[in-house]
Amino acid sequence: MALAFALSASAQQLPARIHAAIDGSPVARGAFWGIRIVDLDTGAVLFDLNPDRFFVPASNAKLFTTALALARLGPGYRYETLVLAETRPDASGTARGVRLVGGGDPNLSPRAIPYRTGAAEGNPLQAIEELADQVVARGVRRVEGGITGDDTAYLWEPYPEGWAAEDTIWEYGAAVSALAVNDNAFTLRLRPGERPGQLARLTLSPPLEYYEIDNRVRTVARGGERRIRIDREPGFRQLRLWGTLPAGDKGYGTLLAIDEPARYAALALKDALERRGVAVSGGVQVRHMFSNQVPDPALGPAPVPQPGTELARRVSAPLVEDLRITAKVSQNLHAEMNLRAVARIRRGIGSRQAGIEEMRLFLDEAGIGRTSYNLVDGSGLARLNLVTPAAMSRLLTYMWKLPVREHWLSLLPVGGEDGTLAHRFQQGSAAGRIRAKTGTLTGVSALSGYAEPRRGGHLAFAILVNNYNGAAGEIRSVMDRICSLMVE
C-alpha cells in the first residue's frame, strides 16, 4: 500500500512540475508542445498536453518504420547482394553482361556490426572488394558489355515526397536505392594550399571520381576567414566549391550524397575488378525500375527479375542489427530502405507507396487510428509527416506488449550511453534510465520512448515540440528535465 501511495503522489505532482519546467524557459514557453506519458504497468495516462494535435515528428518517424520492419520481417531477416552475368565465364575467363544486383542491404559499408559507438572505420568499399574477390575466384579475367548497377529490387524514386532540394546534396538526404554503397555518400576534404592564392587541396574518400568537381576554394593568409560553400543542381553531376581557407587551417571535411547510387556502385566494382587485373570493356550502366513499368506502385506486382549466372554473393547480417544502427544513429537512408524492404516482401514491389500502405495496416493492428497520423516517408526528413502524441504513445505501448519487445528495446538509444543520446542524461537520475528516439529539424525537436522510474515500473512517453524560435539546446534541456522528472 505504501508503494501504491508513493506512485500516486508522484503522479499527482508530475503535471505541475512539467508545466513549471516549460514555463520556466522563454523559448520553451513560446513553442508548441505535445506530450503524453503512460504507465505501462497500469495503462494510466500520467500526463497529457495536446495529445491529439498534429506535430511534425522529424526522426521520431523512424520509430514507426523500425517497428514495422521488426514486426513484419522479423529480427533474423537478411538481404542478399549478387553479381550476375548473362553467361558463364568461358574458357578464356570472359563473362558478358555483368550486373551488380542490389537486394536492399543498407550495410555495404564499413559500419561495425553489431552496433558500437564511434565513427565507422575501415575501407568504405570493403563490401565491393569482397564481391570482386569472389568474381575473380570464379575465373573471370575479362568482362565484356561493361558493368551494370541494378537496383530494380526497389522502384526508382530516389527522393520521397516532401524532401527539400537542398537536402539531396548532403549525406542525410542521400538518394534511396536498393543498391547502396557506403550509405550512398562520400567524404570530401579540403586543406589549404602551401601559400595564399593557391587553390585548396581536395581529396575524396572513397577515391572514386564520380562527380565533376569545380573547385574554386582559395587559400588566404593566416587569420583570414574560413568560408566554404558547396552547391549541386538537382539532376546534374557537377559539384561547385568556392570560398576561402586560411593558411595553416586544419582543413574542412563533409559528407556529401551520391545522386545515382547504382551507377556509383557499378563504378566501384569496375574499379575493384580492374585493380585485380580484370579487363572491363563497355563502361558502366544502370538499370532502374520505373513507376510506368508496374500496374500500381502501391500494390505491384513488380516485373520478374532477370536471371543470370551467379558470380558472387554477399549475405547481410540479421535485420535487427541494421534496425539498431538505423534507430541509434538516426540513419535516414537505412530507414527508407527498411520501409521498401517490407513493401517488397509483403506486396512484391519495393516502393515507398507500398511501404506506406503496409504501415497503415500495421498501425491498424496496433489500434492507431488513421486520422491520427500522416506518414509520407520512412525517415522523418519530410515535413509533410504529421503524428499526434497519442498515436506515438500507442505505438510504444503496442511494441512493449509484442514478443519482440527485447529486440525492440535494444534498438533505442540509451541515455548517457550510446547513439543520439550518448551525450544526454550522462549524469543525474535519468542516466541509463531513458531509452528513446530523438528527432530534429529546424524548429522541430522530439524525444519518444521509455523511462524506468527509480521507484519501479515503466513509462512510455512521447514529447513532440514544434514552432520554437530560439536555441534548440534550450528546448532539449527542458525535454531532458521532463525525463528526469519522470524517473525521480
Q: How far apart are the C-alpha atoms of 244 and 199, rounded to whole Å?
A: 9
Count of helix runs (H) and strand runs (E) in the chain: 11, 19
Specify the pairing of strand 284-287 against strand 142-150.
Answer: parallel
Closest CA to 422 of 433, 412, 413, 430: 413
| 241-271 per-residue burial string, b: 16 or more CB within 10 A, e: under 16 | bebbbbbebeebeeebbbbbbbbbbbbbbbb
Q: Which residue has the cell 571520381?
A: 209
Length of the chain: 488
CA–CA distances in Å: residue 25 to residues 34, 35, 481: 16, 17, 11
**Nearest Cα residue to 241 out of 204, 206, 268, 208:** 204
List, in order, residues 6 or more apart from 330 with CB less than 8 Å away: 59, 62, 419, 420, 437, 438, 439
Q: Is 324 helix (H, G, I), strand (E, B) or coil?
A: helix
Instruction: For residues 455 and 75, give the distance between their C-alpha atoms in angstroms, rounded to a whole number.
Output: 32
- What is the C-alpha to C-alpha distance for residues 111 and 92, in angstroms, rounded to an integer? 37
DSSP assigned state of 294? S
Burial of 199 (0-12, 13-18, 19+ CB in 10 A): middle
The rounded distance, in Å, linking the Cα atoms of 395 and 255 is 33
Please name which of 314, 441, 454, 466 lies closest in space to residue 59, comparing C-alpha atoms.
441
Q: Catalytic residue numbers?
A: 59, 62, 330
